[in-house]
Amino acid sequence: MSRFSALHVEIKHQVESFKLQAEFSATPGLTAFFGRSGSGKTALVNLIAGLATPSSGRIEVGNVVLFDADKGINLPPERRRVGYVFQEDRLFPHLTVRGNLTYGQRFRNKLTRRHHLEDVTDLLDIGTLLNRRPEGLSGGERQRVAIGRALLSSPDILLMDEPLASLDSARKSQILPFIERLRDDVGIPIVYVSHEIDEVVRLADTMVIIDNGLTVAAGPVENIMSRLDLRPLTGRYEAGAVFSVTVAGHDKTYGLTELSFSGGRLWVPALNQTMGHKMRMRIRARDVSLSLSPPTDSSFLNIIEGNVLEIRREAGPQTEILVDVGTPLIARVTRKSVAAMRLQPGTKVFALIKAAAIDRHAMGLGGTRQRQIS
């Protein structure tokens, strides 16, 4: 299957009183299913995997039809070439790490194997663990082994159902770079289930919002996160726009890094990244102020000119404003300020962003596809 295979889903499904209706297409890379607990994320993943059967519709990966109700096609799970990584690692306790990793290879002859043991252990940095048993591994190590086992089954698509949910913050921060490598290197579509917005912003190319069994929005992460109408679902308090940026310089004297984006430049606390490195970053709406003129004698390092695109009118003292600064930016201000400044779509404003407030935890590799393991 081609590296450029895409996932297409158009299905309906009902279990007792719960109804699921999903319709979206995902480009190659990592697609995140995001939504509240009980919204239908895991149910949708299980339908893709073949662990449950939709009532109607079609599921396709690349040029392979996994399910088509009208044509009577419903490939069983073992024929779908799907790798599944669960919340729990589900490793075989009686096997070594090597035994767990190679277990999936038993179902693929050498001609149909896409990934090999040496490549996968290198990708996930688990080569030194091969002779150990699962009971002696940390949670992060076990999950990396589980991911490796899924890859060595040579899947056409990798499904990851909240793979970091059982890990503490320290273990999550250790394993996130390995998932970034998967996204960039393995060359197959990855579906990643999460209710943590930081994980989604850092990892995903495509974002699918699921609410009460419905896929209410799907598209590039930057586009989804800039939609004010989705704030109740993407998290209002943590709401923020997502920028694609490139490292443009470092100021060692003051411990800062300069980032370029489509609308200009930003200063952030120093990042240990090389010039030209591409990534995504999230700027929270609560960390953005607006001014009608560029302030003087200000502590703000980031003052960016833009135009108001949209004002979301809501009850309560605050409202959110979408500003075009070369890319969408969201500011949260009081309704009183909106009235006093006479803000409306088209108003020229200056966005003020504190360098220290920019969310470094949501930064990750973005658009840095490197190599495909063989």
- DSSP per-residue letters across 192-249: EEES-HHHHHHH-SEEEEEETTEEEEEEEHHHHHT-GGGHHHH-STT-EEEEEEEEEE
Given a contact cutoff of 8 angstroms between Cβ atoms, the answer to whether 374 and 152 are in contact is no
Closest to 245 (Cα-Cα) out of 164, 304, 299: 304
358 vs 67: CA distance, rounded Å: 44
Q: How far is CA 146 from the centre of its chain?
A: 20
Given a contact cutoff of 8 angstroms between Cβ atoms, the answer to whether 270 and 290 are in contact is no
Residue 152 carries which DSSP code?
A: T
Per-residue confidence of the chain (374 residues) as pLDDT tens digits? Answer: 444 568 899 999 998 899 999 999 887 789 999 998 889 999 999 999 999 999 999 999 988 999 999 999 999 998 888 999 988 888 999 999 999 999 877 766 565 566 788 889 998 999 999 999 999 999 889 999 999 999 988 888 999 999 888 888 888 888 888 888 888 888 888 999 998 888 888 899 899 999 999 999 999 998 999 899 898 888 766 678 888 899 999 999 999 999 999 989 999 999 988 999 888 888 989 999 999 999 988 889 999 999 999 999 877 899 999 999 999 999 999 999 999 999 999 999 999 998 887 765 556 544 444 434 44
- Taking only Cα atoms into account, the Rg of the chain, rounded to an integer number of angstroms, comes to 22
**What percent of the residues of the chain are helix, what percent strand, and what percent coil, each to the nearest 5?**
25, 35, 35
Cα–Cα separations (whole angstroms), residue 146 to 51, 102, 104, 136, 155: 19, 11, 11, 14, 14
Query: Given this model, what pLDDT does residue 39 score?
Result: 92
Residue for token digits 């149910």? 43
pTM: 0.84
Query: Given this model, what pLDDT does residue 374 score?
Result: 41
Query: Given this model, what pLDDT does residue 177 score?
Result: 87
Residue 359, H or E segment: strand 359-365
* Per-position b or e across 108-126, b if 16+ CB within 10 A of its CB: beeeeebbbbebbbebbeb
Between strands 256-261 and 240-251, the pairing is antiparallel
Q: How far is CA 347 from the centre of its chain?
A: 33
Query: Given this model, what pLDDT does residue 111 score?
Result: 56
Helix 117-124, helix 139-151: angle, nearest 10: 150
